[in-house]
Structure 1
Amino acid sequence: MLYLYGLTIAAGLANAIQPGQNATLAKSLTLPITAGLITLLVSTTVLLVGGLATGKLEVPTVQQVAAVPWWAWLGGFLSALVILAQLFASPAIGAASFLGIIVTVGVLASIVLDHYGWVGFQEHPASAWRILGAVLMIGGVALVALF
């Protein structure tokens, strides 16, 4: 279980670094959408190679595909949205503001998702402490963005 925290920390670092990399790729090529496609191609290749190397890559059955809720298929759309924000918004507003907004909005949305048990999450009530934490994050992001 401890390795999952390490993986999450690595993802947090990647989340801070990746917008600059993707925006630089877009600027260097002068083709932002092409840069986004290249980013997704590299991601797909890494997942493909990793899945093959670990023996964890399998083709789902028709029954497995049919059992997936309609909204679960939209994750790729949301990934593309994140990449587009990295390409266009992060260079304009800066790394700290960009990541602060992404993380804070993510926490706010997560509190709602947890509270109602939406999109596959277990219900976890939106306590006053969780809401206070989110409010404090909004204040923190405002300070980072303003100064």
Structure 2
Amino acid sequence: MSAMDIHEILKYLPHRYPFLLVDKVIAYETGKSIVALKNVTINEPFFSGHFPHHPVMPGVLIVEALAQAAAILTLRTKGSVSSDDSVYYFVGIDGVRFKKPVMAGDQLILKVEIERQIKGVWKYTARAEVDDKLITEAKLMCTARNV
């Protein structure tokens, strides 16, 4: 198991502010799993509208953070990095459940495991946690496509 800082993450993800949702990779095992984190601060641009009186991270962004962690794991597994000629897309999201809201000040722990890969489509089991409590779970399917 190894870790990655933000400089290495930027090699794998094309996302940049305000849409980069992985701050650090705590551990990964190539071909198997990744544990990453997103520090959720009050300075996030989405908090000004979701909701000003009760800042909650939108659920779709939690799922996106899980997908970004999955993309890092997949590209690392394939031995490649982000490029201008391909994009890693969602092809399916199943069984998404939101158990608790994510608030400003939370540290979102993103846990993704590869279930299988068939013909360029990768399927993952993903979960997000805060303080060791399940926040969100989902089955994700993604693939890389040339642009």
TM-score, length-scaled by structure 1: 0.29
More helix by share: 1
More strand by share: 2
- The structure having more radius of gyration, on CA atoms, is 1
